[in-house]
Amino acid sequence: MNMHAVVLPSVGPPEVLRFLERPRPTPGRGMVLVEMRATTVSPLDCQERAGQVSRLIPGGRPEILGHDVCGIIAAIGEGVSKLTVGTEVIGLRALQNPGTYAEFVTLPADAVTRKPMKLSFEAAAALPLSGTVALQAIRDRGRLQGGQALLVNGAAGGIGSLAVQLGKALGAVVTGVCSGDSSELVASLGADEVIDFEKEDLATLTGTFDVVLDTSGQLTLDRCRKMLRPKGRFIPIVPSLRTLLDSVTSRFFGGPQTVPPPLAQPRRADLELLAELADQSKLRPIIDRVFPLAEAAAAHRHVEEGRPRGRVVLCIGSEKTPPKTQR
């Protein structure tokens, strides 16, 4: 049986993406098959499409992009016992194994959990990758504790908007940095203070924060050093040679450190926590715009040409149509 997917035949501009038929995958042992309802277009997808990060992906260029999984279980592989056909789920494909721009996707059962009941498929699709990156960055890499101070640079973006809310859920005092036209949005997410980067110089903040999370790629340890407490941690989400070197050298000197960005390891426990917080109304994904799967090229152009608030989503199929199940 076949399915539709957005295929990347070669690297290049958004127009290289093609909406084609491909064989429908079947789940192996310990795997599930998900009939997709939505996925997202992340900056990483755009970089992979343009050939900017292919060297980081084992096996070379992926045929199908995408990491966020949101849909309905259509089949389960041998050895899967805690999930059943027909369950609405979210999940995460590992960074080295993309492939969610498709009508059907397989992934390990331990990289899947039930979809938050309070969220639509489109909203829930924005949780797995961005939420996992934000959670593993501030909780695991940043070791953020209740009562500590967190600064999120790029607080209106897909990762930053979730990091603000996760910081509050962890009991931190959160400052969000964004453009002036996003200030109201970031404040509505629970930020204790909002800084308009177009009007205020971050370099004037001294000795204030325990953790600085930069989702924009604009900060370095040198720029953050004065705003971090003596044992503070700087976490750049966008990797670069400079931040990689800083993460090594800063270990050998006193003062703040650069911590390497998380690799967004798919973990069911983390996905369950994100879903639980969403159902408790403590985590609200921000959706910038929704495109049909067949218009993935237009979605990529939108991500690259603007500064989306939250995530750009690809809608797949119809929520009103029952899933085509396999047993």
Is the domain of 175 the same as that of 105? no
Question: Are 115 and 188 within one domain?
Answer: no
d(CA 235, CA 219): 10
One domain for residues 116 and 11? yes
Burial class (CB in 10 A: 0-12, 13-18, 19+), 113: buried
Average pLDDT estimate for 306-313: 90
Residues 56 and 71 in one domain: yes
Q: Looking at the domain assignment, is residue 305 inside a domain?
A: yes
Instruction: Say how far apart CA 109 and CA 58 lie, in whole Å.
Output: 22
Q: Token match 């979605």: residue?
A: 299
Residue 322 pLDDT grade (very low, low, confident, very high; cuts 50, 70, 90): very low
Handedness of CA 104, 107, 109, 111 (dihedral sign): negative
Q: Tokens standing for 34?
A: 């998900």
Most distant CA pair in the chain, distance = 61
Domain of residue 56, CATH code: 3.90.180.10
> What is the C-alpha to C-alpha distance for residues 8 and 264, in angstroms, rounded to an integer?
23
In a domain, 272, yes or no: no
Please tell me the distance from the alpha carbon of residue 81 to that of residue 296, in angstroms, as a whole number.
Answer: 35
CA nearest 312: which of 295, 292, 294, 287? 287
For residue 87, what pLDDT is reported?
A: 97
Give pLDDT tens digits for 101-160: 999 999 999 999 999 999 999 999 999 999 999 999 999 999 999 999 999 999 999 999
Q: In this structure, is residue 141 part of a structural domain?
A: yes
Query: CB count, 10 Å around CB of 14?
Result: 19
Q: Is the pLDDT of residue 54 over 80?
A: no
Res. 326: pLDDT tops 70: no
Please state, in angstroms and rounded to a whole number, the distance separating the CA atoms of residues 289 and 292: 10
pLDDT, one tens digit per residue, over 237-279 is: 987 677 677 776 777 777 888 898 888 899 999 999 999 999 9
Say whether both 10 and 108 belong to one domain: yes
Tell whether 324 is covered by a domain: no
- Structural domain containing residue 53: 2-127+285-315
The enclosing H or E element of 186 equals: helix 183-188
Residues 18, 61, single domain; the answer is yes
- CA 163 vs. chain centroid, Å, equals 10
User: How many structural domains compose the chain?
Assistant: 2
Whether residues 19 and 94 share a domain: the answer is yes
For 182-213, what is each residue's pLDDT tens digit? Answer: 999 999 999 999 999 988 888 777 778 999 99
**Chain-centre distance of CA 322, in angstroms?**
27
Tokens of 75: 């089949």
CA angle 163, 99, 101 (to 5 degrees): 85
Looking at the structure, do residues 304 and 250 belong to the same domain, yes or no? no
- What is the distance between the alpha carbons of residues 216 and 327, in angstroms, rounded to a whole number? 44
Q: State the pLDDT at residue 317.
A: 82
With beta carbons less than 8 A apart as the criterion, state whether 272 and 113 touch.
yes
CA distance 303 to 195: 23
Q: What percent of the chain has pLDDT over 70?
A: 93
Residue 266 counted as domain residue: no
- Looking at 162-264, which runs of residues are DSSP E strands? 173-178, 193-196, 209-214, 228-236, 257-258
CATH number of the domain within which 188 lies: 3.40.50.720
CB of 70 closer than 8 Å to CB of 121: yes
Q: What pLDDT, on a 0 to 100 scale, did the predictor assign at position 318?
A: 60
Same domain, 40 and 94: yes
Tell whether 239 and 164 lie within a shared domain: yes
Task: Please give the Cα distance from 100 to 23 (Å, whole number).
Answer: 14
Task: Output phi, psi for 76, to 5 deg.
Answer: -125, 145
92 falls within a domain: yes
Percent of the chain with pLDDT over 90: 75
* CA dist., res. 290 & res. 307, Å (int): 15
How far is it, in rounded angstroms, from Cα 223 to Cα 216?
Answer: 14
Per the domain annotation, does 85 fall within a domain?
yes
